[in-house]
Chain A
């Protein structure tokens, strides 16, 4: 295009040059290709996913012990979240009968308890200890959702329970 057409086919007369007319049409196919390529790229790189959120409601702090929620011993399951993604659990009020499980198997424990207990008595107490991670806490709260447990609470373990967890951890070699 930058070159000039100098070929003269027919001479009409002296000094009369005929310029060959170029078509003004440009082939737009490559441009369309590029356009659609960019569209595809932008669609794929745009993150559609928005972060979701999980609701957490905590109870009011009550100074008066009479206001505390009463839990039936027969209906309670205590899950203690320890170091290294381990869960220690016991039924009722006796931490001495503590058993160990993990995050994959805890669903079975919860479901077994749910089946064997009347719905209005079932209460799950979640006690994350000092070494549990935020992920552990969210996972177990999520587990409550998954298993459709409506009554649960998150509290700190008692010093007795904590020392028992530590003993078990030391004995089991959990670092």
Chain B
């Protein structure tokens, strides 16, 4: 009897397509990744059960650090208009160099009188320097001027006001920041927080559960 000869296949597989896929994915992830800009101000935000994502567009972000210093940053898209408006409102002249520096700067952390010098500093120079922060006292609330400039720059369109406070920041500073907003008739803010789970058994937990069940039940009743 002639035995059927089983052809032995080679155990080595052609790795080329797999290699292609792996590097394609790698390239995609590297290009798609948004690198987090190193933050000049370190802030530990408190957590909340809120699961809304903080707005990333048209925002004006006020940061309060643990030493109760107030810093400001904003959406790059509105920066140039805000500086123009601020110059108008405060009768300040900004040179084109100042403006270019402002566009590059990550945040503002000094009173208006020192703004020009502050903008000349590079991020490397800013490291380890104790900045005075933006004055928020009721006598000289420069933050209110910034907010007012930002509002004029937006021409009545929506401006998301973010407050990002450090756990250890004191309440009075937070209150002064709110005062700067209310002085400009702004009453809605977003407090930047880390999300945490809703405690089990709490009222909100039950409410979410009911809503979930109601939504899940709908297609069955049909």
Contact = CB atoms under 8 A, between A and B. Distances in A.
A73 interface: no
A146 B165 contact: no
Contacts of A129: 171
Contacts of A35: 19, 22-23, 25-26
Nearest to B18: A32
Given A50-B54, A52-B53, A145-B48, A57 B165 contact: no
Interface stretch (B102-110, B140-148, B149-157, B184-192): B184-192
Interface in B36-88: 36, 45-56, 64
A39 B15 contact: no
B9 interface: no
Contacts of B195: 49, 52
A24 to B, nearest CB: 12
A13 interface: no
The majority secondary structure among interface residues of chain A is mixed
B55 A53 contact: yes
A42 B171 contact: no
A27 B192 CA distance: 51
Interface residues of A, number: 49
A139 B45 CA distance: 11
Contacts of A28: 14-16, 18-19
A53 B52 contact: yes
Contacts of A46: 29, 33
B171 A136 contact: yes
Given A53-B50, A111-B203, A131-B170, A58 B165 contact: no
A38 interface: yes
Contacts of A55: 50, 52, 188-191
B171 A137 contact: yes
Contacts of A27: 12, 15
A116 interface: no
A133 B168 contact: yes
A112 interface: no
Contacts of A29: 15
Interface of A: 27-29, 31-32, 35-36, 38-39, 42-43, 46-47, 49-61, 81, 107, 111, 114, 128-139, 141-142, 145-148, 156
Q: Which 9 A-B pairs have the closest CB atoms?
A: A35-B22, A28-B15, A53-B190, A53-B54, A134-B165, A148-B203, A134-B169, A135-B167, A54-B50
